[in-house]
Chains A and B, each alone.
Chain A
């Protein structure tokens, strides 16, 4: 009897020691301070009440200029293990100035995915960004919906409406769930809600933010379908010529279904773009997955892979920092809108935010506002 009690005691200790940090992470809130251009914050379920009150619902920040113009939707957190996306969203919410047009920002498109890390992936639960007022803490997330929220997985995920057979795990992937459907998996429902927003609001540009491995060919790039291609190429040329960083263009495949850069363009009048920055913490070959690796992007094994010509991005001992990744996203987004404005002046934009060089030189943290000093009504918990 004593032996059984001892074993039960050890089990309880393991459950508590392992489970409590996971529980706390699931309820940890990130803070964002609404900047001067934020005019409204509402729920995505305004466009589809099938996600109302569920973990699939999420906040949408509206930044509206005084002059009428086009509409851009920036989607971050599709894959919550690619954190430069959410950080760029927070950066835009706090710093983007909009004079003409409207920019909508979703920091956590897949809220569920942001509430826990990949099982067995060895990722830290949090990472910090240095700011002038202290460290700002963010949750590390996972690629898809948590199994806690969407369970069980099917044997095979059948994409709607194409019928293409995809991996079972992609049933929880909000970048295989487009254009979504109102009675599907939660991942399909949140994509359907976003499609309803895009169609009902008449969104012109949709930008889906991601990170990818340095050893994966589709990284450090803009993925665009045929109709978005001229704007993507213009933005790519501009940032290479003026801002001195590479961000090549990849063509969105027509035969691979469920991806934002394909389905949003096919199922609405919007012009979709998917941005990839190199997040080496995603590479399988790295040393320990530490918070520092996520922030600095410095890894000796990735460096060795680079010396052997196995990477698809330029990589040296300085790594690929969060500042660079967020900086690239900021510049490319602004440049896509600038290219769009040149060809569609009546639906154009006048926006500004610090760009690549500013963020790399000053540090991303210097652009985050201190929530403890902000007006409480401007602080939003995510």
Chain B
């Protein structure tokens, strides 16, 4: 894994963390669903599934 690729994984993990934080904090169901949908591809990438 190159350094740039590693940094992209770190950035992805950071964005996942932010999305989870916002998911926990929000009280709006539409936002909860939106954060969940945004999380899906990022989790698949972090788990190295796709």
Contacts and interface: CB of A to CB of B under 8 A. Distances in A.
B50 A119 contact: yes
A7 B50 contact: no
B3 interface: no
Contact of B33 (A7, A19, A150, A151): A7
B8 A151 contact: yes
Contact of A7 (B32, B45, B48): B32
Contacts, number: 46
A168 interface: no
A7 B36 contact: yes
B5 A151 contact: yes
Contact of B5 (A3, A22, A152): A152
B39 A11 contact: yes
A152 B50 CA distance: 14
Contacts of B24: 4
A2 interface: no
A152 B4 contact: yes
Nearest to A23: B49
A148 B47 contact: no
Interface in A1-29: 3-4, 7-8, 10-11, 14-15, 18-19, 22-23, 26
Tell me the dominant secondary structure on chain A's binding face. Answer: helix
Tell me the dominant secondary structure on chain B's binding face. Answer: helix
A3 B32 contact: yes
B43 A15 contact: yes
Contacts of A116: 50
B3 to A, nearest CB: 12
Nearest to A10: B36
Interface string B19-50: 00001100001001100100110011101111
A79 B8 CA distance: 26
A151 B44 CA distance: 14
Contacts of B23: 4, 7
Contacts of B50: 18-19, 22, 116, 119, 148
Residue from A10, A22, A119 having most chain B Cβ neighbours under 10 A = A22
A178 B45 CA distance: 28
Interface string A40-67: 0000000000000000000000000000
A19 B43 CA distance: 10
A19 B45 CA distance: 10
Closest 6 CB pairs of A and B: A19-B49, A22-B49, A11-B36, A22-B50, A23-B49, A151-B5
Given A8-B36, A15-B40, 12 more contacts: A3-B32, A4-B23, A7-B36, A10-B36, A15-B44, A18-B49, A18-B50, A22-B44, A23-B49, A116-B50, A119-B50, A151-B8
18 contacts: A4-B23, A4-B32, A7-B32, A7-B33, A7-B36, A8-B36, A11-B36, A11-B43, A15-B47, A18-B44, A19-B44, A22-B44, A22-B50, A147-B45, A148-B48, A148-B50, A151-B5, A152-B8
